[in-house]
Amino acid sequence: MDGHRQIDIKHLGQTEESKGWQSMGILHYLGLKKEFKGIFKGVEISDAIERLQQDNQDFDLIVKHLKYVPPLEQKFSWKMLEDGRVVKELDFTSFEHGESAIPQSFRPFFGIKETEKTITLNHENRKYEVDIKWTKAGPDREVVRMWWGQEFTSVLKDEFPNWGSIDPGDRKMDMKLVFKGTSGKDIFEASLVDDKSFENEQINFEVAMKSRLKDPPVSPPTGSKNPNKKTVNSTQISRDPDVHAWVLHKSNWICECCNKPSPFTKPDGSKYLEVHHLKRLADGGSDTIKNAIAVCPNCHRELHYGLDKDNKLELIYQKIGRTKKE
């Protein structure tokens, strides 16, 4: 846990000569003095926020600051993907205590109601029993927690040997536990995703783009004329979530090829369209709004494989003013 001097240097840009007075002044203004030190040690930020909001005292200003997260992150360490899977970004508590609080919006995925239950995780042809319990977090508040026990915790530690580098209260975007529902009652497929996998890049991109869509950029993003390539288990091209979010938002969820509305709604409640690059990234195309349009799945496949794809491409360049041949 950082002291005042460390906070000054790491978060407020002060020099090594800092005495910690800047952060101390801010914390004292918020009402946080030495008596509060360590009160939330080892607690996830989402849990801390929930406790403060339930308290009778006025912690609104503190909660406001706690809710701020960098653009590539979300409020919770839990995320819902477009395909209906749920991702848990593993944190200190996941490894140290073998458990995690489950935010209210994710409880329906696990069929959580008012009673405790046990679910089964299938991972690499083995089954693990996981308990879901209601626990007291204060005199008038209960929190739902998932306890996966010592055996599955050992699996997590073996898969992510660097887990010891996580500070209490922190989490890692490159250490993920992914849940997928099955046809069986209370049975879920579980997979582990690290920074070496292509799936990790896909998940991070989707999460970042969804975050941008909640607060779309006002000005057209610059994008990248020469997108970076990153080698994971295979070589892939890094895409810009700002470009994709801007293109989807500006389309008003109308296909820019056939002018028909989004064909369906995703499990998370948002509309579905895809982003198509007029000149493929693999062929040297740029990841910019000049080379990207929002299309329905049918038009997307036709623009790649259709007999009339070249003519359709020409019509798109003529119809959409922002596009430019590369």
What pLDDT digit, counting tens, does each position of 62-119 carry?
A: 766 665 444 333 457 898 887 788 999 999 889 999 999 898 888 888 988 877 899 9
State the residue for tokens 């992510």. Answer: 160
Are residues 325 and 317 in contact, defined by beta-carbon separation less than 8 angstroms? yes
Q: How far apart are CA 88 and CA 8, in angstroms?
A: 31
Domain residues of the chain, as ranges? Answer: 4-66, 78-194, 198-319
H or E stretch at 117: strand 117-123
SS3 44: coil
Q: How far apart are CA 315 and CA 181, in angstroms?
A: 42
- The residues, any chain, with a CB within 8 Å of residue 31's CB and separated by 6 or more, are 62
Q: Per residue in 258-300, pLDDT tens? A: 999 999 988 777 899 999 999 988 778 899 999 999 999 999 9
Cα 156–chain centre separation: 19
Q: How far apart are CA 41 and CA 172, in angstroms?
A: 17
Position 20 pLDDT exceeds 90: no
Q: What is the CATH number of domain 78-194?
A: 2.40.330.10
Q: Per residue in 133-178, pLDDT tens? A: 888 666 666 788 999 999 999 999 999 999 988 888 777 778 999 9
Are residues 44 and 51 in contact, defined by beta-carbon separation less than 8 angstroms? no
Residue among 113, 110, 114 at smallest CA distance from 130:
110
Residue among 223, 262, 257 at smallest CA distance from 242:
223
Are residues 295 and 303 in contact, defined by beta-carbon separation less than 8 angstroms? yes
User: pTM to 2 decimals?
Assistant: 0.55
- Calculate Rg over the CA atoms of the chain: 23
Conformational region of residue 77, where left means phi above 0, alpha means psi within -120 to 50, and beta covers everything else: alpha
DSSP one-letter code for 103:
-
Q: How far apart are CA 154 and CA 157, in angstroms?
A: 5
